[in-house]
Chain A
């Protein structure tokens, strides 16, 4: 993964950093990310993911254009400051765009309006001591209704089912499970280990 901009947002990510203000070193390329030769030096042609979090939106948009030209298949995520940049950078080819003020503003509102939900989501999103986990449906449950299985007792409540590209939220107890379904659970760290022991082959790898 290549990360353009070394700052508070990107510091904890792992990859090759490209920034004008870092000393050249292992995992650090010193140079202007808006220059073709810097991106090539960072290995853009063989990488699969690019993160752009620069100080200036215009520069981020330009880097997106440049990166997509050098490697059209690279998955690009970007952070922008101005609302009007969101549409522009998507048009430039970014796959995922975060608008700073929007995300932060919504987070503050959540603490204001529903503090418990916010604290709860914080545990999922920030601390990861709770995790949303997808488990492949075992063959023995295919074509059965949820309430006729022991899934709930053994693992937990199914909060959603991923069926192909569709996500079925809050499935009814009478929902019939199909082959290829991915069941989504919300689990605590220690529960995950327990499940791993019981049915390790279930756990869906992240890819």
Chain B
């Protein structure tokens, strides 16, 4: 609660307290000087006494200090009280001031939003965080659009469903958009994104069953159903089959890779290409949308084929 109190108000409060402390001291000084010590005094002397005391100057010119017993006790108490006000005030001011400085320093270092061929992540939750960490490691530029984005990555603060915010994320030149928010937000985000960029590769998360179709209709290129993926992983574990034995690798995406056949390999057979020795075992080939599993060594490769390679091991 205290730290949410604005710095300006704190400053005003401090100055008011300081002023009243000085006036209070002066009043006490005048009363003691006149009615206890029966001496004359001036307004300037009274103020001088107050400031000299609370600022711990520790020295009074002749005639200004209080010499009576009551006067000395008053000086002691007033000194302690004054110090409390000053040190308390400084502490209450300095904390927020430093905080403000640090915040503005961080704000100034706000990271630029990538210009093109980047990935837009809408929604920042646990899944968004996994994706963010991975993209950071591989070094693919990305921007997060969320109402509460993290501070240390390129981000647009605001609802991803709004055109303005997606435009701020340079959606026209982005390569892909990953929508991992809740179902409604994802649906509207995809609709908006599709209108702004027809070629964008949109991958969306369906938080539960039944919304996959809706997200495809909105314009997603690929919808991943959370329930389905987790359910599949679980049932492979229950069955104890080989998918699960290899799932360590499967879910790390390290052991299975794709490789596009270039002009150099066009017309060569798998045996001649020596891909097995150089890259890994070809377990399947995509030719267009057709999948060929376990191709024979005599299989002739064509430019544009996508090989599914199983890597690593012996």
Task: Report A's interface with B, CB cutoff 8 A.
Answer: 1, 7-13, 49, 51, 53, 77, 79, 81-83, 96, 98, 100-117, 120-121, 123-126, 130-134, 152-153, 155-157, 159-160, 162, 167-172, 175, 184-188, 191, 206-207
Asked whether A187 and B258 contact (CB < 8 A) given A125-B233, A125-B236, A157-B281, the answer is no
Closest Cβ–Cβ distance, residue B137 to chain A (whole Å): 11
Contact present for B281 and A104 (CB under 8 Å): no
Residue of A nearest to B244 (CB): A96
Contact present for A160 and B313 (CB under 8 Å): yes
Residues on the A chain within 8 Å of B293, using CB: 130, 156, 186-188, 191
Closest Cβ–Cβ distance, residue A103 to chain B (whole Å): 6
Lowest 3 CB-CB distances: which A-B pairs, in order?
Answer: A169-B313, A105-B130, A101-B126
Bound-state CA distance A130–B18 (Å) is: 80
Contact present for B314 and A108 (CB under 8 Å): no
B306 within 8 A of A: yes
Interface centre among A114, A160, A171, by most B CB within 10 Å?
Answer: A160
Closest Cβ–Cβ distance, residue A120 to chain B (whole Å): 5
Bound-state CA distance A101–B131 (Å) is: 9
Contact present for B126 and A125 (CB under 8 Å): no
Closest Cβ–Cβ distance, residue B261 to chain A (whole Å): 12
Residues on the B chain within 8 Å of A171, using CB: 313-314
Closest Cβ–Cβ distance, residue A116 to chain B (whole Å): 4
Bound-state CA distance A73–B119 (Å) is: 46
15 contacts between A and B (CB under 8 A): A9-B227, A12-B231, A13-B231, A77-B234, A100-B127, A100-B230, A105-B126, A109-B253, A112-B178, A116-B286, A117-B308, A121-B256, A126-B229, A170-B312, A175-B314
Bound-state CA distance A191–B128 (Å) is: 39
